[in-house]
Structure 1
Amino acid sequence: MAFEITDEFLENLVGLIYENNDLEIKKLFKEVHFADVAEVLDEVSFDEAIYIIKLLDSEKTSEILTELDEDTREKILENLSAKEIADEVGEMDSDDAADIIGELSEERQERVINALEDDELAADIKELLSYQDNTAGALMAKELVKVYETWTVAGCMRRIRGQAKEVTRVHSIYVVDKEDKLVGRLSLKDLIIAKSDQKIAEISKAKVDAVNVNEDDEKVAKIMAKYDLEAIPVIDDNNVLLGRITIDDIVDVLKEEADKDYQMAAGISQDVEANDTIWELTKARLPWLILALFGGFISVSILGGFETAMDTYPALFFFTPLIAAMAGNVGVQSSAIIVQGLANDSLKGSLWRRLFKEVLQSLINGFVLAALLMSAGMLFLGFKVEIGVTVAISLISVIMIASIVGTFVPIILDKRGVDPALATGPFITTSNDIFGILIYFMIAKIILGF
């Protein structure tokens, strides 16, 4: 049964804290998963959260810290000594430990690393912190099971027992040569059924997918998703085995990227959350709102240039919001499909073929929508034929242009190293609004001759 945080649970917990009833608090959390404990800490006051963290054993609280909201974790770490933080990260895998220590100031990082009792873990953390953010090196863990190709099966079995104690999940056994270069992989099944005197080189598989330590983490995610990998080894430029990346880390990468793209598509320029400060939320949202305001001002200026048409054909202005809205909607639809394709690496084929496909489908959509609009305008609103034709042709043209812009802007941004998700937000909507209104009145001027 899933754990549920109720008011009764929180009231009981707070009461136990104020009574300093440590024994009952430990019993209360004994069977609760660390992810659920993290949610509880987000619900109680800061002082109460600190009390719980310091009370529970490091084996559990180390897992809890990795699940906490970043702001909450930062505040908690500020109130723990270097020795207390070292005790926590000492129970973590090297990648999680590096992530936690990486959030500290450089001075505190050094103090915490010096306070670690495990020298090997300290060295691993220093190495992981040296890699650039958003790379395979920054994402990997040093814990893995590694065997040498010259070992026998019997010798290998004895040695991997000691290695496996440090590894949370054994997905694969990696085979290296005497220079620690990755030469293959070994499944547990093959190891178990092999004869004890066989060499590892005889039963290992030479084909093994690996990523370079400097590879972008999004590229790593695409590789693991494509080949359905639960873990992937990380190597350097000389093919030396450095660590491994597991699927749980990739899920975090995908979630962060999805959150970032979603916010960017909504016109939010930096990573923020609902409980961030007003100033942080304003900084993230205001730039795009200014862009939208500027775009709206351009649209108004365009309308002002056709002011003389208002007296002769006032009906044209009734359709202005509709034309602008259709341009924005079509552009967002097209760009969303392209951005999704770029994100999951499914965008295939030549640009000319995609252009032809986009023009064809936009023509179909445009003719259907224009026919509906023209018929409704003439039947129910009594517009003249020339007005209906003008609006219909304008709508088809606007849909085509918006569709092409929405398709190729993300592709161009991606080729220039800019996040293509930028094209699904106010940028594409505002630009297509401007193009839509301009095209609409230019076509109206040609047909109606004002």
Structure 2
Amino acid sequence: MTPFKLTEELVAEIKLLIYNQEDVQLEGLLNEVHYADVAEIINELAAEEATYLIKLLDSDKTSDVLTEVDDDLREAILGNLSSKEIAEELEELDTDDAVDIIAELSEERQQEVISNIEDEEHKEEIKELLKYAEDTAGGLMAKELVKVYDTWTVAGCLRRIRGQAEEVTRVHSVYVVNKQDELVGRLSLKDLIVAKNEKKIADIYISNVDYVNVEDNVEDVAKVMSKYDLEAIPVVDNSKTLLGRITIDDIVDVLKEEADKDYQLAAGITQDVEADDSIIELTRARLPWLFLGLVGGVGAFLIMEGFQDTFNKYAVLFFFTPLIAAMAGNVGVQSSAIIVQGLANDDVKGSINRRLIKEMLLAALNGTILALFLFFFVWVTKGDVNTAFAISASLVVVIIVAGLIGTFVPLFLNKQGIDPAIATGPFITTSNDIFGILIYFWIAKMVLGI
């Protein structure tokens, strides 16, 4: 199969066909194209053109397309569709995907759409899932799964599985429950196939099964699935009643969203924004950290102004100020990035004090190596041992302090329930710049006896 490639010529052709309302040609062109590729095409169209295609193509394809298009475009498309048309799209989707779409509508519109869903079971499942918070296992799970009772025989189980599997896109696992619908285990398809027809499921199911609670945070769910290499995991309530399942594709979306958010936080962007967002939205996301940088710059100015006498006697110190500030910022970001990554992967264990001591020793080693190079450079170029010692000694202390700040801040934020990724961006850089400059001039003043 040749990989799909979106070209300007193809987009132009589709736009022209839409303009001329050449429905037969459009259907012939797109019916055999994968829904993800159709979504890629639609992302290049105006909202009215995209809506035209959604209404033209069959719902069994366009429903999946709607889950893949950009958020802003999907919002515009949904605004152009009637409640009945949206309901027809949702009928073709698994409950988790249907809830993701309907959750973007106003409460009033949600009720209108739900009332137009003809499949009563599908409707009730969507209404149930809407009750769960978006960042919980309940907000991520789908109701579609294959469930069997431990009292069934193998023959009866196989008949019922065939019926259930028709409603499930992918059968990752078969879950076993008791009469109270409590999860008791899982079923190996191999064991099911080779077992005798009259044998009871209670005799062949595997009691060891991983599961998550419906109220668990999605990040915790992702960690469990990653740790045990699971393609799907069942979701239960406090009574261990089986409620649904979460599949790996949903977890990949969660990890991607979290990575995007952390990357933006590290870059000093406080909101989830995209390149195509409005200038106002982009400004709101960027301005807070830019303002923090401005405050940090003013703070550095005030510190340097307080050491004006030092500048007057040793002007050479001024020229090394950017180097000290840059090293403080770089070391701080390196330390915080390692800690944030470790926290995300659940690899940071043990006491904070032990972690700080390790980082202090590491920073001291790196600082000493760099300071030796800087000492000889200043000594050779300026011919003053005292000045060279003052600058290089300052560098060692600055690197140690920056490493400690970069390690402590994300650990502290994590303890307080704040996303530690915020510590890898301008916050760490600015704070270390200020501390670095203050330490630099203070040590230089002491060593040079000013």
Deviations 1:31-81 (A, max 9, x none): 211111111111122221111110000000000000010000000000000
Q: Which residue of 1 aligns with 2:215?
A: 214
Does residue 360 of structure 1 match 2:361? yes
Structure 1 distance, partners of 2:117, 2:237, is 27
Q: Which residue of 2 aligns with 1:31?
A: 32
| Aligned 8 A contact 2:91 2:119 in 1 | yes
Give runs of aligned pairs for residues 167-316 of structure 1, distance below 5 A.
167-316=168-317
Q: Alignment partner of 1:332: what SS?
A: helix
Give runs of aligned pairs for residues 45-84 of structure 1, distance below 5 A.
45-84=46-85
The AA in structure 2 aligned to 1:96 is D
How many residue pairs get aligned? The number is 449
Deviations 1:253-307 (A, max 9, x none): 0000000000000000010000000000000000011111001111110001000
Structure 2 distance, partners of 1:242, 1:76, is 32
Q: CA deviation at 1:193?
A: 1.1
The AA in structure 2 aligned to 1:432 is N
The AA in structure 2 aligned to 1:282 is T
Structure 2 distance, partners of 1:423, 1:17, is 49
Q: Alignment partner of 2:239: what SS?
A: coil
| Aligned 8 A contact 2:31 2:57 in 1 | no
The AA in structure 2 aligned to 1:387 is T
The AA in structure 2 aligned to 1:187 is S
Q: CA deviation at 1:354?
A: 1.6
Q: Which residue of 2 aligns with 1:103?
A: 104
The AA in structure 1 aligned to 2:312 is D
Q: Which residue of 2 aligns with 1:328?
A: 329
Q: Which residue of 2 aligns with 1:21?
A: 22
| Aligned 8 A contact 2:352 2:411 in 1 | no
Give runs of aligned pairs for residues 108-147 of structure 1, distance below 5 A.
108-147=109-148
Q: CA deviation at 1:383?
A: 4.0
Q: Alignment partner of 2:197: what SS?
A: coil
| Aligned 8 A contact 2:48 2:77 in 1 | no
Structure 1 distance, partners of 2:253, 2:4, is 22
The AA in structure 2 aligned to 1:12 is E
Q: Which residue of 1 aligns with 2:392?
A: 392
Q: CA deviation at 1:349?
A: 2.9
The AA in structure 2 aligned to 1:431 is S
Does residue 408 of structure 1 match 2:390? no
Q: Alignment partner of 2:4: what SS?
A: coil
Q: Alignment partner of 2:436: what SS?
A: helix
Structure 2 distance, partners of 1:321, 1:15, is 57
The AA in structure 1 aligned to 2:141 is M
Structure 2 distance, partners of 1:156, 1:101, is 34
Segment drifting more, 189-198 vs 61-70? 189-198
Q: Alignment partner of 1:31: what SS?
A: coil
The AA in structure 2 aligned to 1:425 is G
Q: CA deviation at 1:15?
A: 2.0
Structure 2 distance, partners of 1:133, 1:171, is 23
Deviations 1:211-235 (A, max 9, x none): 0000000000010000000000000
Q: Which residue of 2 aligns with 1:375?
A: 376
Q: Alignment partner of 2:43: what SS?
A: helix
The AA in structure 2 aligned to 1:82 is S
Structure 2 distance, partners of 1:253, 1:75, is 24
Q: CA deviation at 1:320?
A: 0.6
Structure 1 distance, partners of 2:37, 2:286, is 32
**TM superposition outliers: structure 1 runs of 4+ over 2 Å:** 348-353
| Aligned 8 A contact 2:141 2:244 in 1 | yes
Q: Alignment partner of 1:2: what SS?
A: coil
Q: Which residue of 2 aligns with 1:428?
A: 428
Deviations 1:346-392 (A, max 9, x none): 1123323222221111111001110111112222x224100100011
The AA in structure 2 aligned to 1:146 is K
Structure 2 distance, partners of 1:145, 1:170, is 7
Q: Give the TM-score taking structure 2 as reference length.
A: 0.99
The AA in structure 1 aligned to 2:337 is A
Structure 1 distance, partners of 2:13, 2:432, is 56
- Where structure 1 has 5 or more consecutive residues not aligned to the other structure, the ranges are none
Q: Which residue of 1 aligns with 2:440?
A: 440
Q: Which residue of 2 aligns with 1:6?
A: 7
Q: CA deviation at 1:113?
A: 0.3
Q: Alignment partner of 2:382: what SS?
A: coil
